[in-house]
Amino acid sequence: MPRRTAAERPTVPAAEKAPEPPRPTYAVLRAVISDGQGGEEELRLAMADGPFGTAAWQMWSVGLYLARLHRHQVQPSAETLSAHLRAGVVPFPTPTLGFPYDELHDLRPTLILSLKLGPLDPTGWPAASLVVVEQDTKPYGYTRVRRFRSLRAVTKAVQEEIEDECSRLAGQKAQRELFELADKLSRQAETVHQRALECASPLLGGAVRESMHAEGQERERLLQELDELCGLDGPLPDEAATASPVQTVTGHLERAPEALADGRARLYVRLAGACGTAPWRADRPAVVICTARDAAARGALSLRAGTAVVVVGRAGVATYRYEGDVRRRADTFEAISIGVDLAAESAPPATTV
């Protein structure tokens, strides 16, 4: 039987390739919050990018957080920012899902807000800078990067973005409800920016106050609206509200208490037993650094090394730098009161320092 050539062989149609499911895309907020003493907190959160995962809406949420920090005079932290995003005070979806990926090298985010915050300055506003990255997730798509390096630059950018969104939505009947919301938010963003400008310097503040007075009742109405939006939902949690519960630990002083320059006292307490009531990690150290203030500090400084003590206070974690660039964390205990443990067994020999 004659052999068929390759050209004569029947062709088999290739199986049709199933279409790939669409790749989910996200809006991502990355915040790095500094305490001004070398410690930093980082927060990465994400949300579906439509319809509110765009720069205009999510930048407005950041601007509102800055305004709430100023109003309630609360230091920025990962906890208060997360609470702000989850509390429902923002009238649209915000990033609340953990995003444990490197957002700059991930192919899925269409919007990345990289926010950096520092402690409140003398004007009562936090230090702030913001980088906004908008990108197309398709191959060879565009990328747009903008940087705002000061609080006033951030608040101005927030105002301009939401105003641009108003212009885009104007005249679209199907988007009437969104337009009305964006219009209201743009007026509030303007008020936030004006307040930030007012605090920039006494001279500039006076000029802004004059312009605000000249605009009369409309400006007062906007100020009242902003106060209601930032105030009636309740203040952001402060240190007292978010501190760990009051607990009691017992142990012996590892060394003589140290007097610090700011009037506090530092104690090194070797814990007695397991101290199961303390919320530290399972690998917590045997010796805990305690700090005391005011009357507790004065009482602590009268104690000697080896004294059995009962310490009432709150557990916490301190971040510090070791040998320049190495960042470390230490378990701490902020003492409210300190007393001698009369029920304790005889103290072990004190460490010689």
pLDDT band at 130 (very low <50, low <70, confident <90, very high): very high
Whether 316 shows a pLDDT value over 80: the answer reads no
Which pLDDT value is given to residue 215? 57
Contacts of 288 (CB under 8 A, 6+ apart): 249, 251, 268, 269, 271, 280, 331, 332, 333
Contacts of 309 (CB under 8 A, 6+ apart): 250, 251, 252, 253, 267, 269, 303, 338, 339, 340, 341
Which pLDDT value is given to residue 207? 46
User: Would you tell me the crossing angle of helices 176-198 and 55-72 to the nearest 10 degrees?
Assistant: 40
Which pLDDT value is given to residue 274? 47
Whether 277 shows a pLDDT value over 50: the answer reads no
Which pLDDT value is given to residue 70? 92
Element containing residue 315 per DSSP (H, E): strand 308-322
Please write the tens of the pLDDT for every residue from 41-71.
999 999 988 889 999 999 999 999 999 999 9
Please write the tens of the pLDDT for every residue from 151-210.
999 999 999 999 999 999 987 878 888 999 999 999 999 999 988 888 865 544 454 455
Please write the tens of the pLDDT for every residue from 90-127.
999 999 999 988 898 888 899 999 999 999 988 889 99
Which pLDDT value is given to residue 240? 47
Whether 349 shows a pLDDT value over 70: the answer reads no
Measured between alpha carbons, how far is 302 from 167 in angstroms, rounded to an integer? 69
